[in-house]
Amino acid sequence: MARILISAGEASGDIHAAAVTRELKNIAPDTEVFGMGGDCLREAGGEVLFDIKEHGVMGFAEIVCKLPALFKLKKAFAKVIEERKPDCLVVVDYPGFNMRLAKLAKAKGIPVVSYISPSAWAWHKSRAKSVAQIVNKVAAIFPFEYEVYKNAGADTEFVGHPLVDIVKPHLSKEAAWKKAGKNADRDLILLLPGSRLMEIQKMLPTMLQAAKLILKKRPDTDFTMPRAKTIPLKMLEDMVKAAGVPVKIIEGDNYDVMFSADLALATSGTVTLEAALCGLGSVIVYKTSPITAFIARRVINIPNIGLPNIVAGKRILPELLQEEFTPERLQQEALALLEPERNTQMKKDLAYVSERLGEPGAVHRVAELVLRIAGRNNDIIFTNFELYKTIYAQTDFCYVLYYYGSSGKFIYSLDYQRYD
């Protein structure tokens, strides 16, 4: 029986941790998964020892304020490692804390898999070298991420992006439209302010003011806001009421809602890529503390911060950051994206982003990788994607199976230690 310690510190990481947990139990039902996560991890069969509602934080200045709590959390994890003796630690995103946890685990002889790894491709490349020294395996979700970590000396495998597996509609079109509040003769704009309390506080008021301005120019528009499980419902209700703008707050079936909408006003993060896979364009926004913004502008070395823009290799969706993020600018960019010609081009660009994210099966490949690192690789069976061909190779040290998908494109390789 494999014992997997997992750490996901925010809502998006909770979704990915849950997907991997579910697949781990599909492959090896007796696998134990425990650690930090939220409702998604719990529903997938993981044991939530530390709830993400208490630990989500982002930004340099913001992390400093939370340091005492994070030190306490690290100490609690050390106790879990000592008592439960996991076979592997899987760290999912949340790099400010997870890289410290990975260092602790490695010092105690616990192998570490980094999934949704620190964005070294956006920061200084030395960050990739630091990660390479701490973790045993990087499960890369972007092709450019694979190259950065490989060049930094990390043991890296390109697994593809998990959202390709996760982002799928489940309701009928009629049921989805009803859930979303979509009417055929009206535009539907989603407000996606984030999954952290500080994001709600910084982003939602401006989004709500922009919604009021949009209604003045385009009165046949409705607004819906999916609630992240990490955010109290009353907090959102109070903010919407204070703004005096009609917004429908919903829970669950987020991807069905995204497939039903016409546009999103979205805080930069995974949600913008989720929306892109639903064919939903966004005006991407972000605002943080002045000191965090000051530092970020000096260390981030890419022209765009929105994931769809990064994947596309060019700016296909507008980004409004810091002082540019105003109700007036947000209204302007939103109305521009709703214009037919601009909207048609945006849809084509979003389809290209989807193609760039690789073939399905990423979550399955990550689960197999984790079990292999945990010492459970001898009886793994590939079942979740159609194989076009399999190539068997033999070296002086191991046997290697190379898997190719139905398009003939390389998907995955699996190596077994030779004992003969």
Find out whether 88 and 373 touch, Cβ atoms under 8 Å. Answer: yes
- Strands of 248-250's sheet, edge to edge? 248-250, 221-226, 187-192, 263-267, 282-286, 319-321
Q: How many CA atoms lie within 13 A of 135 on its CB side?
A: 36
Euclidean distance between CA atoms 351 and 348, whole angstroms? 5
Residue carrying the six token digits 């907090």: 235
Euclidean distance between CA atoms 275 and 337, whole angstroms? 15
pLDDT of residue 386: 38
* Range(s) of the domain holding residue 414: 386-420
**Tokens coding 48:** 């939530």
**Tokens coding 314:** 């060019």
One domain for residues 53 and 122: yes
One domain for residues 351 and 368: no
One domain for residues 143 and 183: no
pLDDT of residue 303: 78
* Residues 6+ away with beta carbon under 8 Å from 5: 34, 35, 77, 80, 81, 84, 86, 88, 89, 90, 105, 110
Q: What separation in angstroms does the CA of 74 have from each of 70, 96, 267, 379, 391?
A: 6, 12, 28, 34, 43
pLDDT of residue 290: 78
One domain for residues 228 and 340: yes
One domain for residues 271 and 311: yes
pLDDT of residue 120: 57
Indicate whether this model's pTM tops 0.75: no
One domain for residues 373 and 393: no
**Tokens coding 274:** 């989720």
pLDDT of residue 379: 40
Euclidean distance between CA atoms 335 and 184, whole angstroms? 18
pLDDT of residue 9: 86
Q: Is 168 a member of any domain?
A: no
Q: What separation in angstroms does the CA of 275 have from each of 94, 172, 173, 270, 350?
A: 21, 18, 17, 9, 9
**Tokens coding 62:** 């913001």
* Residues 6+ away with beta carbon under 8 Å from 389: 404, 408
Euclidean distance between CA atoms 24 and 123, whole angstroms? 32
One domain for residues 137 and 272: no
Find out whether 416 and 377 touch, Cβ atoms under 8 Å. Answer: yes
Using 70 as the pLDDT threshold, list the residues of the chain that sit under it. 54-68, 120-125, 293, 295-301, 376-420
pLDDT of residue 135: 95
One domain for residues 275 and 247: yes
One domain for residues 187 and 334: yes
pLDDT of residue 201: 94
Please tell me the total count of domains within the chain: 3
CATH code of residue 141: 3.40.50.2000
One domain for residues 146 and 222: no
pLDDT of residue 271: 94
One domain for residues 341 and 276: yes
One domain for residues 238 and 293: yes
